[in-house]
Amino acid sequence: MTGPPSSWKLRVVGAAIGSVTATALAVLTLPLVFPAIIAAFGIPTGAIVGAAFAPRLAVAHDRYGWTVLHAAAVAFALGSTLAAAWFAMSEGTGADASDLIEYAATIGFWLAVSTTTFSAPMALLVAIVAARALRTLAPYSAALWVPSVVIVAVVVGGSGAAVAHAAGAAGDAAAQIGDRIPFEYVAINEAPDARATLEIRSYWKGELAGGSGSHGFRCGSGRDEIQTDWAIWVVPADDTTHDPPPEDPLVSAAEYGHGQPVRVTVRVGPDGVATWERGIQEDVCGG
């Protein structure tokens, strides 16, 4: 004998159906990658919305009514919130408020695009399919609530693991963006054979974050943004297989001033000896 539509067993079954339906959509869209990522956020969302709306979705006369649309709208809003929270947690570790705002604005734009293109239609599709399945299985909720609890437990456990991974992972792109400083250089080689290579490297938490090299340069310049931990080497032209070069750097952030915007001139004299100085001379390389 089954309980009434508002019973907690029906809600558990509704949570399981919502999460399973979203999982199926994630699997089907896996070759498209981005829609599959969006659908993955729908798995915990489907469980929450399925539990909340199960008694109403189980009513047969609301087959294509406002309850399905209402559930889809809530799922869309909740899923978008979960996605934004996950991205902020995984990519914003260690960032200050201004960095997070800048990062969130960029992510928010792409989420808005994906919302219009994918999220809303996918939320509606999941709501329609899940509602039909729930109406079919509602009379059997007394028997299905036990396997449904297992499904919901897996969803909760998987979602918790994803949140824990996001919180603990070193995916702190926002903080890395905030660590960048303006970098401008001019490099002049006055040695007769010009056989030297300028190597520029920057590091984030001890790992290589960016770099460039100018092989056999005569006169060159560049302007970019790099991490506050940086270094410049001038090495023989045939010694470019090491990264970083084994020699001590010509100049680094530790010597120049950690966190200071960089404007530096590197010069290789006629005797082949490399030196550096603060500041640059505009148009020294002819433009």
pLDDT tens-digit series, residues 210-263: 888 777 678 888 888 999 999 999 887 665 556 667 778 999 999 999 889 999
User: Secondary structure of the chain: what % helix, strand, coil (to 5)?
Assistant: 55, 20, 25
180-198: per-residue pLDDT in tens?
A: 899 999 988 888 776 788 8
Whether residue 143 is predicted with pLDDT greater than 60 in this model: the reply is: yes
Give yes or no for a contact between 172 and 93, defined as CB atoms under 8 angstroms apart.
Answer: yes
Q: Which of 26-35, 40-49, 163-172, 179-188 has the lowest mean pLDDT?
A: 163-172
At 107 the pLDDT is 66
At 1 the pLDDT is 41
Question: What is residue 10's three-state secondary structure?
Answer: helix
Structure tokens belonging to residue 240? 């470019």
Mention every residue, 6+ apart, whose C-beta is less than 8 A from residue 51: 11, 12, 14, 15, 18
At 158 the pLDDT is 77
Give yes or no for a contact between 272 and 192, defined as CB atoms under 8 angstroms apart.
Answer: no
At 90 the pLDDT is 61
Whether residue 3 is predicted with pLDDT greater than 50 in this model: the reply is: no
pTM score of the predicted model = 0.53
**What's the mean per-residue pLDDT of the chain?**
78
Query: What are the beta bridge partners of residue 266?
Result: 187, 276
At 106 the pLDDT is 66
Order across the sheet with 229-236: list the strands. 207-215, 196-204, 229-236, 251-252
122-139: per-residue pLDDT in tens?
A: 888 888 888 888 888 888
Give the residue-averaged pLDDT of 84-92.
Answer: 64
CA distance 22 to 25: 5
Per-residue pLDDT band at 40 (split at 50, 70, 90): confident
Whether residue 278 is predicted with pLDDT greater than 90 in this model: the reply is: yes
At 181 the pLDDT is 92
Torsion region of 205: left, alpha or beta (phi above 0 gives left; psi -120 to 50 gives alpha):
left
Give the residue-averaged pLDDT of 94-99.
Answer: 61
Strand segments, DSSP code E, in the chain are 180-189, 196-204, 207-215, 219-227, 229-236, 251-252, 262-268, 274-278
At 241 the pLDDT is 57
At 73 the pLDDT is 83
Whether residue 93 is predicted with pLDDT greater than 50 in this model: the reply is: yes
At 240 the pLDDT is 55
Give yes or no for a contact between 188 and 267, defined as CB atoms under 8 angstroms apart.
Answer: yes
At 119 the pLDDT is 77
At 261 the pLDDT is 92
At 68 the pLDDT is 82
CA distance 177 to 27: 33
